[in-house]
Amino acid sequence: MADVVSPAVRSRMMAGIRGKNTKPEIIVRRGLHALGFRYRLHDRKLPGKPDLVFPARQAVIFVHGCFWHGHDCHLFKWPSTREDFWRAKITRNRANDRKHSAALNKAGWRQATVWECSLKGKTRLADGQPVRLLADWLRSDQASIEIQGQNTSGRSADA
């Protein structure tokens, strides 16, 4: 199937997509800050440049976009144009996520992953719930947590 917009329009659209300071990330940051948590942003010294870093708690948080990380939810659909490019790109992103997670584990960092579908779309969790789950996790000694949207289509949801 051919793209529905011109290459110039598609290029402009793709250039507007950010890798950090995304809307889901801002929601998480503001919510945790309001609860009194302080953090560093995008620490380049750590594998994967986590979105939020809590050095005193030895914890990091990744806020993943469902499309870019190939999440199994309603927000992800394999593109029908340039299929080889997108399959390679998203597969590489997933592999990098696993590699970074293993390196962080080895270094003793606790990890949280918040999926975009927990914050928006038809499977989003109740307002504030993802942030409350993260706050509870940060206060605990639990090694990891994954927060994703509600289970609406038979897919597993871990919240």
Residues 6+ apart with CB under 8 A from 105: 111, 143
> Could you tell me where the DSSP H helices lie in 44-156?
83-106, 129-139
CATH topology of domain 19-147: Endonuclease; Chain A (3.40.960)
Listed residue (15, 26, 13) closest to 131, CA to CA? 26
Has residue 39 got a pLDDT over 80? yes
How far apart CA 117 and CA 34 sit, in angstroms, is: 22
Residue 96 has pLDDT above 50, yes or no: yes
pLDDT at 15: 63
Task: Delimit the domains of the chain by residue range.
Answer: 19-147
59-84 average pLDDT score: 94
- Residues 6 or more apart whose CB falls under 8 angstroms from that of 18 comprise none
- Who has greater pLDDT, 155 or 34? 34
Query: Is the pLDDT reported for residue 156 higher than 90?
Result: no
